[in-house]
Structure 1
């Protein structure tokens, strides 16, 4: 067998929020991968170690979960009033597919720090000490994100005392603001209703809030599908029949939202939409062993990503939660007690998270103006990632 050399590509392995992924500057990619297409997808899959029928990603940088099978490509932005263009690729673990249909809210917190450290932000906009405001264009969904990155002695500050449930060690806080997070021209509810009756074969007719904010998300009541909202990963991910039911729910909800023309298309796009179930506040034991008291949270939320229950909460889904909570009458709002809200603290499998959001109603149509939450980010490794030269 002929020997194939490996190529070396500058890359940074970063944690952002409760996710981690491989970050690239567009200019550092091989020329064939600087444009969207098969060459780029093949390269990123090989970097991550997909497709892997063993679902371990041993021969790549992925961690065999939806939170760790991620790639990011950044470049200087040519858009007015923006510093960097951010493109996110969710790599399927066991299928030959990279999903470019949505954003990663968690990794959004790492975009600003990476952009500053890698020369993608004008040095004149970076203080010697203080906070650098990085204006990010999220190219997947065409939205603006503003990250506020702490700077110490002219460099990104990564360490600190900010604690984030789902992340073991504290770090520096990075507030992230998602501007106009609703899909399209500000429309949040694709059916025009804050609650729909959704028919799902094998499950029945469910009350559902279908929202496009942060990422398209389908919310249902935990009790309606036989859960309490206190479940941890093993309760869902170890139940093949439950996962199949959730995928059926996701597919039918996606068609109702207009994301797919037919349920058969859902299997080809795992990243969107998300499915989440909500419940009123109650105490539970988080995956870390911490007791979360009912008084700490406004509601409970569990969400699935790439076909599995997430260990904490996807950042984009947190935006959807905040936006839905801000609109009276949604299932999220009702689980939190109803009424007008500009922020909500929800319980997830790893602990709690607070997200703020603002929504307004114009001509009977709801629009989200912004959502904000705090995350953290840290460089785990930087240098050269290697892939066989025939990967492209």
Structure 2
């Protein structure tokens, strides 16, 4: 398209007619945009050609050729643009030079195919790097998950064995011996795990050395692996990875089942502990109830004895009631009159006693006065006798 337009512009310029004079501003703007797009395409082709030259030829010669090619193509594109803008310059010789320096379609296809292959190789390398990074991150995630599960398991065991199982029931404090024994067991288990991993690592190193030796022997004997063997090994590796993923999923399922069974076991242990506590409480309650029952039996025997005595007294009283005879009315009247007479006599005697008590009090007062007067007379007599002497 660009060649046809340049040829048409050249012929029109040779004829002496300028087609740009007939174009308006909008058409000129479109033409300029079209030329700019063509120049961009040519610049991309030039850059691709320079890359091809740098990769295929030595640096000195490639740089020189690339510079020449770029200069020629850019100059040709600038000539195309200047041909459209400059109305008095001839284009026949520049067009012939541009045609002679441009690449053919086959050459462009070869360069594009080579660039496409390079891009595929770069993409494959980038994909391999990305897969390697993803595998590293996946391994880190698995390690973090394992460490998290181990941390949860250790925290649960510490809470089960120390915070709940190593508490003294009397003092309510954690027993230090159980704590030290717990950590010693953990350290021993870690040491055994480290020893197992060290042995496994040494075995893997021995296997790696054997495989390296076998690979060197095969290379020396001319039995080196080809690309097909690598593809087969890659397929087998993918199959083994799938099997490993399946085994990992089965292992995770088994771990989940083990954790669930452990939770169920712990719940049953808690229930067993509560039931044993309840049974001990019931045993103590049964013993207290038995003691209370013995006390009640003793009290019932005492009450039975008292009841027998009360029944005996009751029978006597009932016998007395049956043997009781009511006196006559006249006897009751005479007895009542005698009672009134006795009460009247008691009142009279009480009044006499009160009068006698009052007379006794007056006689006592007179007696005390007489004793005081006699004592005073005796004292005066003694004093007089002492004065005479």
TM-score range, shorter chain: under 0.3
Q: TM-score, normalised by structure 2?
A: 0.13
User: Between Structure 1 and Structure 2, which shows a larger proportion of helix residues?
Assistant: 2
TM value normalised by structure 1 = 0.13
* Structure ranking higher on relative contact order (CA contacts 8 Å, 6+ apart): 1
